[in-house]
Amino acid sequence: MDKTILVTGGTGSWGVELVKQLLLTQPKEIRIFSRNESLQVQMHREIGDPRLQFVIGDIRDKSELMMACSDVDEVYHLAALKHVPICEEQPESALKTNVMGTQNVIDAAMESGVRKVMYVSTDKASNPNSTYGMTKALGEKLILSANVRSAGTTFACFRSGNVLGSAGSVIPLFQRQLKEGHDLTVTDPGMTRFFLTLGNAVQILQVAMESSQGGEIYIPKMGACNISDLARVMIEYSGSSIANIRYVGIRPGEKLHETLITETESNHVVDQDERYFVIMPPCSSGEQTVDDGQRSELARRGYHSDDWKMSQEEIGQLLHQGGFLA
């Protein structure tokens, strides 16, 4: 309440939902920092709250971030290049935005006396094999390192799987293909992904910001699904008699399955909330803060999408919850 909050990348699907929910907490001001003028105008018209301040800027430019961070209490760092194929084709751009841009956010926050920074990461940062995943993994390392070095600003990470309907999600693609009468394109019959509704993801993100003491990685508890099952559910509910599934092969940089917690990280995970896991930071002595009584039994061998697959009925329920099925 009565806080000034900066949201980088605030005009994306995550940012719009986050801002809507943050407005309910009675903030003093929310600054939306992004490069896209058109999306800022669209968001301003859609929400139209006087507490919103829109700032055109690029996280690659530290001076622009310094101005945006003035008198800010909390930063949600969402801005990133996130499409796997684009990052594979243009790795230098991914490096500049996702790594160097994140370091600029860190520096600007520390120099401006920001109280807390929450970095939104991805399951692709766990055991990364793509340019996108590697740059987001480096972003996590920078954030956690900053928390050790910083005296006045605390830093933490929020590592999530796929959010239903977000930019780049397969859901809008399937919806468009069904509307146009095309087959639904799936990369591989065995591919699995974690999914959560956008509203729930953003709720947990805010809880993580409030509860963080610095150095943690928060991981929402998410069900996973086989993408072929997801396509079948959407075809069934659409009533289409002509749509089929067409397999097109895994794209460069993609995995067959995703991991939210690696086996190595699982030794440091606590499970004290029904909504999320927490990977705890190391103590100054180098020992982890997690004892055997706190460690999560659910994530003992890691948290992998092929272990947590939902049934088609459960997928349908999740899609209903997210507003993607009538």
Would you name the residues annotated as active-site residues?
124
Q: How far is CA 217 from CA 87, 152, 251, in A?
A: 24, 19, 28
Q: Give the CA count within 13 Å in the CB-facing half-sphere of 158.
A: 25
Note whether 184 and 234 are within 8 A (CB).
Answer: yes
DSSP class per residue in 111-164:
HHT-SEEEEEEEGGGSS--SHHHHHHHHHHHHHHHHHHH-SS-EEEEEEE-EET
Distance CA 54, CA 68 (A): 10
Among 72, 73, 65, smallest CA distance to 102 is for: 65
221 touches 215 (CB < 8 A): no
Largest CA-CA distance found in the chain, in angstroms, rounded: 63
Answer whether 184's CB lies under 8 Å from 148's CB.
Answer: no
CA distance 232 to 313: 11
